[in-house]
Amino acid sequence: MRAIRIHQPGGPEVLTVEDVPTPEPGPEQVRVRVRAAGVNFIDIYHRTGLYPLPLPFVPGQEGSGEVDAVGSDVDSFTKGDRVAWASIIGSYAEYAIVPAGSLVRLPEDVGFELAAAVMLQGMTAHYLAFSTFPLGSDHRCLVHAAAGGVGRLLVQMARRQGATVYGTVGSREKAELIRGAGADAAILYREEDISASIDRLTSGEKLHVVYDSVGQSTFESSLECLRPRGMLVTFGQSSGPIPPVNLRILAAGSLYVTRPKLGDYIKTREELEWRAGDLFRWIAAGELDVRIDSTFPLENVADAQRRIESRESSGKILLTL
C-alpha cells in the first residue's frame, strides 16, 4: 500500500510517499480502507518533533473509510461498514489499523470527506464548549483563530449554547466568515489590540473564558482578557510553545489555566459516541456548517501541510485517497 512516512523530524520535505506492506489487524483491531484523512496542526507538531514519535512513522490522526478486515474479538464491525475515527496515528495511508473501540459508524447522510473533516476538530470544539468550560447563556468567550477548522466549529457551538462569542481573525474576509457562523464580533489581531478590544466590547466586564489554539503569541493577551476567576483554555500552539511562566501571574484575577487534549475527553465509549453523535445529528439537521477549505491527493501531502501552516486556510484541509 501507499503511505506517507517520516524518517526524521523536519519541514514538509521529510514527508515521503512509500510502498509499505499492508498491515494486518490484531486482536480488537480493524483495518480500514482510508477514503479521506484530515490534516491537523498536531500533524505538524509530530513532523517537526515538537511532539516526538518513534521513527519512522505514518502521520495523521483522523480519517474515514470502509472496514476492510477485522481482527479477533471484534464483533461490532464487519467488512464494508462505513466508519471514522480520531486521535489514532497512521491515517496518511491507503489502509489504517484502528482499535475497534475508537471507531464510530457513519450515518448514510454523512460522506467520507465530511466525516474526516469533523471528527478531530469537531469533537475538540465539542469538548471545549460542553466539558472543559461548559458554556451557557450568561457567558462571554473569545475564540482565537476563529475562522480555522476548530475555531469556526467552536463559534457555532458556543452560539448554540447561547454564549456571547468574540473571535480573532487575520483578515476582513475571515471576519465576515465568523460573523456568518454566529460570532458577535470579530477582532482583526493584526490591526487591533486584542485586550483593548475586549475591554471595549464588554464595557470592561471582560470574559469568562478564552479558547486559545495559537499559544506563544496570544498567551499574555488571553490572560488580560479574563474577568476575575476566568479560565484560559490553551489547546494548541500554532505560533509556538508557551514559554515557562511564573504562576503568580494568575493571582491578578485568581485565574485558571488548563491544557486539555481530545484523547482525555473520548476515553470512554459513551463520551466518544456522545460527541460524534451530536456532530452527525447537527450536520444532518443543517445545524452545523462544516467548511472544507481544500483537498489534496495523498502524494501532495507536503502542499497540504504548507497550506495549514500558512494560516491562510479557513476550514478543513483533507487528503483524499
pLDDT of residue 19: 97
Contact 32, 68 (CB under 8 A): yes
CA distance 44 to 216: 16
pLDDT band at 146 (very low <50, low <70, confident <90, very high): very high
CATH-assigned architecture of domain 137-259: 3-Layer(aba) Sandwich (3.40)
pLDDT at 237 > cutoff 90: no
Q: How large a percentage of the chain has pLDDT more than 70?
A: 100
Task: Note the pLDDT of residue 160.
Answer: 96
Question: What per-residue confidence (pLDDT) applies to 314?
Answer: 74
> pLDDT band at 122, cuts 50/70/90?
very high
What's the CATH number for 2-120+266-320? 3.90.180.10
At 157, is the pLDDT very low, low, confident or very high (cuts 50, 70, 90)?
very high
pLDDT of residue 156: 98
Nearest to 279 by CA among 267, 270, 289, 269: 289
Q: Is 173 exposed, middle or buried (0-12, 13-18, 19+ CB in 10 A)?
A: exposed
Per-residue pLDDT band at 150 (split at 50, 70, 90):
very high
For residue 238, pLDDT beyond 90: no
**pLDDT of 96:** 98
Task: Report helix, strand or coil for 296.
Answer: strand
> With bands split at pLDDT 50, 70 and 90, how would you rate the model's confidence at 193?
very high
Average the pLDDT over 92-119 and give the result: 96
Q: What's the pLDDT score for residue 69?
A: 97
Q: Which of 183, 177, 182, 227 is nearest to 203 (CA)?
A: 227
Long-range contacts of 214-217 (CB under 8 A, 24+ apart): 214/144, 214/145, 214/238, 214/239, 215/239, 215/240, 215/241, 215/242, 216/240, 216/241, 216/242, 216/243
Task: Count how many Cα atoms sit within 13 Å of the Cα of residue 96 in the half-sphere of its side chain.
Answer: 32
Q: Is a pLDDT exceeding 90 seen at residue 304?
A: yes
pLDDT confidence bin for 310, thresholds 50/70/90 = confident
- Residue 311 pLDDT > 80: no
For residues 36 and 92, give the distance between their C-alpha atoms in angstroms, rounded to a whole number. 9
pLDDT mean over 77-98: 97
Residue 205's pLDDT is: 98
Overall pTM > 0.85: yes
> Is 214 within 8 Å of 238 (Cβ atoms)?
yes
First-to-last C-alpha distance (Å) of the chain: 11
Mean pLDDT of 206-234: 95
Q: What percent of the chain shows pLDDT beyond 90?
A: 92
CB 281 within 8 A of CB 289: no
Mean predicted lDDT score pLDDT of the chain = 95
Cell triple for 94: 491507503
Find all residues with CB under 8 Å of 52, minimum gap 6, and list them. 9, 46
Do 248 and 254 contact (CB within 8 A), yes or no?
no
Rounded distance, CA 25 to CA 103, Å?
14
Answer whether residue 240 shows pLDDT above 90.
no
Question: CB-hemisphere CA count at 13 Å for 213?
Answer: 24
- CA dist 7 and 272 (Å) reads 32
Mean pLDDT of 236-265: 93
DSSP letter string, 247-284: GGGGGGTT-EEE---GGGGS-SHHHHHHHHHHHHHHHH
- Point out which residues pair with 82 in neighbouring strands: 66
Kindly list the domain boundaries of the chain, sorted by start residue: 2-120+266-320, 137-259
pLDDT at res. 139: 98
Residue whose cell numbers read 465530511: 114
The arithmetic mean of pLDDT across residues 33-51, rounded, is 95
Q: How far apart are CA 249 and CA 238, in angstroms?
A: 23
| In the predicted structure, residue 175 carries a pLDDT above the cut 90 | yes
Identify the three-state secondary structure at position 187.
strand
More confident residue, 217 or 13: 13
